[in-house]
Amino acid sequence: MGIANTVLYFLITIVILVFVHEFGHFIAAKICKMRVDKFYLFFDFFNLRLFKFVKGDTEYGIGVFPLGGYVKVAGMIDESMDKEFINKPPQPWEFRSKPVYQRMFVITAGVIMNTLLAFAIFYVIALAQGKERMETTTVGYISQNSVAGKYNIIPGDKIVSINGKDVHYWDELRSNIFLENMGEDLFIKIERNGSISQVNIPKSEMREVTERAFGIYAPGWVPEINKIVPDKPAAKVGLMPGDKVIEADGQPIVHSQQFVDLIKTNWNKDIKLKWLRGGQEYSGVVHPGPDSLIGIEVGKFAGPIKTIRYNAITAIPEGAKDLYNYGVVLFLKSMWKIIKGDIPFSKAVGGPIKIAQYAGQSAEIGLLSFLGFMAMLSITLAIINILPFPALDGGHFVFLLYEGIFRKPVSHKVQIVVQNVGFIILMLFMIFVVYNDIIHI
């Protein structure tokens, strides 16, 4: 995908997620009859903005820094540094004059909206696409130099259970390895030639492992070309969608991932290919560049598959389950791995560049894939914002919780200092993640 499209999908993602979050604060403040002074999409540091207009009591605008957005509610101590109202008596329209429960509602409304957005997307995906289950746990292909290969898992092995939990479908297998037991010791029972044995993989091998690095793939993935990118090596040699690759670099190709691995390990070399089209054999030579790509999407599953369809009612619990598994559980497990040092912090965090890359890649696969990425990012944004850190919604909520329990607010002076320090730390963190993105491009 080109840079222009990547930037476009990044902006679509950020605009939707930030707008939904800030609109939550905005509408909650309006419901509680608070005056909203500003509603900004993106930050307008140093008064740098694309445009602004005033309607009623509120200034609406778009800043030039796409790192978030904000809603400024009258009478609220926040990171805007505007504290002139503190020495004046509270006004009925101000945040500080409202009951604690109303202020809590306004503070958490952004998180609630992001959570609802994520759920709505997962619900729509379940309703529109259903779930496809590959009805196999037999290994079809093992990548070279992979973790699975290192521990002697071979094609033809049937995975019976993982960490004591039986698996019956390939998606259960993947969920057990990469979600439920992410970064943990793995005890995998396999059936080989009628005998049951156990493979033990220590968590030290799983700290940073991706699905590709683990290297285990289901059978039935035919090396058939799904998509050709114009002006890339595959297009130039004459490959077309629907072609089936049968040989590469003199090796018979029986699995789509085998072909992908061969291309990636032979970049900057001439690779002779043979493929079938309509029963006729063709051949040509491709030369992958430094990015190890030849401009194709390959792989068609031809094995046993079960499609589960959901109606408007049954899609509700399925959407909620996906929200929990792919949002809450995945995020919290990742955070725990970072805290324990299992995953390097620099590799775990991503800023706008990494988000743009993932947005572009997911959009290239299809609309539902892009929406799924947006849903995961939305629930991640919700969880991060509710963390009890100054300048985040969770930091404001802690002050309100203290006030609700002890019947007195935290002093304005303490709130100002804590919020300002938190905001500076947050800005430094944003600078770090952008820098981290750049050095890992």
Integer Cα distance of 292 and 178 in angstroms: 25
Single-letter code of the amino acid located at 439: I
What pLDDT score was predicted for residue 207? 65
Query: For residue 208, which phi and psi values (nearest 5 degrees)?
Result: -115, 15
* Residue 85 pLDDT: 63
**Residue 347 pLDDT:** 66
CATH no., domain 221-301: 2.30.42.10
CA atoms within 13 A on the CB side of 365: 12
Query: Fold identical between 141-218 and 221-301?
Result: yes
Token representation of residue 104:
């809590």
- List CB contacts of 413: < 8 A, sequence separation 6 or more: none
Q: Where in the chain are the domains?
A: 3-122+378-439, 141-218, 221-301
pLDDT at 4: 79
Element (H, E) at 245: strand 244-248
Residue 227 pLDDT: 86
Bridge partners for 51 per DSSP? 62
Is there a contact between 322 and 310 (Cβ–Cβ < 8 Å)?
A: no
The length of the chain in residues reads 441
Q: How far apart are CA 264 and CA 294, in angstroms?
A: 9
Output the CA angle 111-114-116, nearest 5 degrees: 110
Kindly give, in sequence order, each residue whose CB lies less than 8 Å from that of residue 161, ignoring residues fewer than 6 positions away. Answer: 167, 188, 189
Q: What's the rounded Cα separation, in Å, for the pair 263 and 294?
A: 8
- Cα–Cα distance between 201 and 336 in angstroms, integer? 20
Sheet bearing 36-43, strands edge to edge: 49-55, 58-63, 36-43, 65-73
Q: What pLDDT was estimated at residue 142? A: 93
Name the one residue in this structure whose structure tokens are 């002050």. 399
Spans of the chain, pLDDT less than 70: 1-2, 78-86, 207-209, 291, 341-348, 440-441
Q: At what angle do helices 367-385 and 100-129 cross, to 10 degrees?
A: 160
The closest alpha carbon to 398, from 418, 378, 382, 383, belongs to 418
User: Would you state the pLDDT for residue 346?
Assistant: 66
Contacts of 256 (CB under 8 A, 6+ apart): 221, 222, 223, 224, 298, 299, 300
Phi/psi at 286 (5° precision): -110, 155
Please tell me what DSSP assigns to residue 276.
E
Torsion 136-138-141-147 (CA) sign: positive
Residues β-bridged to residue 271: 286
Decide if 268 contacts 287 (C-beta within 8 A).
yes
Tokens of 361: 């890649």
Cβ-count burial 182-221 (b if 16+ within 10 Å, e if not): bbbebebbbeeeeeeeebebebebbbebeeeebbbbbbbb
Q: Write the class of the CATH domain 141-218.
A: mainly beta
pLDDT of residue 79: 57
**Confidence (pLDDT) at 189:** 96
Strand bridging mode 221-228 / 271-277: unpaired
Task: Report long-range pairs for 115-119 (Cβ below 8 Å, ≥24 apart).
Answer: 115/323, 115/378, 115/379, 115/382, 117/16, 117/17, 117/20, 117/375, 117/378, 118/323, 118/327, 118/375, 118/376, 118/378, 118/379, 118/382, 119/319, 119/320, 119/323
